[in-house]
Amino acid sequence: MRHLHSWYSQSLHTDMPIAVYGHYGHALLLVPTAAADYLEYERFQLIHSLWHLIEAGKIKVFSINSVNNESWMNAHVPGEWAIERHRQWNNYVYNEVIPFIKAQTSATTPIYVSGASFGALHSANLFFQRPDLFSGVIAMSGVYHLTEYTKGFYNEEVYYNSPNHYVSNLEDPQILQQIRSSNHIHLFSGSGDYEDPRATQNFSNVLHDKQIKHDCFIWGQEWKHDWDTWRKFLPILLEQSFE
């Protein structure tokens, strides 16, 4: 069963819808790819691939909108605007979506964040910025340098939203301890068409250097940068994690 919600976001100054699937279980926040919307994971049958876990009360899924089409996916806006919109969207997640999820579950329900493609970068960034809010991350087929999307624009805000950059230099002992305490940091890539497994491996190397335990899965050439891959992988990992 799907429930749709929406509210006027004080962070983004626009209405932001959210789709909720299920009644009980760990909270799974899904971040859409590229310039897609909150129903993308349903349209491409990824929600269907998770349905046995949803019905069993293992997970309750929350799928949100991005504003990528107002930032990095919009060639007509300057970099300063794009990174500001990106920052506002982060605040929307932290200050509005997380409280909504807690109200829909409980104050102590673990929240995991996941996404594919550009959603993988967003998911990783959300987790590594705020490990106090998230219990883990499942990042699928991502690149973790935000500069892959900024068309040459770079400033301090880009650095602090580019996990490959800031995690490499992370020294705050409290934040590192919060990150290291997670048992659910998972990176994944196929090796087929349009995948970039080196980006996943490179970020895995960064985490290894920071002594952050995680899983890094690189599947073979038959697994492309496409929905068949993500529909196959995400249920497998969730089944292993929450059995």
Other C-beta atoms lying within 10 Å of the C-beta of residue 69: 15
Burial class (CB in 10 A: 0-12, 13-18, 19+), 226: middle
The pTM assigned to this predicted structure is: 0.97
Residue 163: HSE in the Cβ half-sphere, 13 Å Cα cutoff: 29
Q: What pLDDT, in 10s, does the model give residues 48-79?
A: 999 999 999 999 999 999 999 999 999 999 99
20's torsion region: left (phi>0), alpha (psi -120 to 50) or beta?
A: beta
The pLDDT score that the predictor gives to residue 21 is: 98
Q: What pLDDT, in 10s, does the model give residues 212-242?
A: 999 999 999 999 999 999 999 999 999 987 7
Token pair for 146 = 């935000």
Residue 204: HSE in the Cβ half-sphere, 13 Å Cα cutoff: 19
Contact between 195 and 175 under an 8 Å Cβ cutoff? The reply is: no
The pLDDT score that the predictor gives to residue 197 is: 98
Strand partners, 25: none
The pLDDT score that the predictor gives to residue 243 is: 62
Return the CATH class of domain 2-241.
Answer: alpha beta
Question: Would you list the domain boundaries of the chain?
Answer: 2-241
Q: Phi and psi of 241, rounded to 5°?
A: -80, -35
Q: Phi and psi of 143, rounded to 5°?
A: -115, 150
The pLDDT score that the predictor gives to residue 35 is: 84
Other C-beta atoms lying within 10 Å of the C-beta of residue 15: 10
CA distance 54 to 100: 19
Below-50 pLDDT ranges, the chain:
none
Comparing CA positions, the residue from 30, 114, 118 lying closest to residue 82 is 118
Amino acid at 136: G
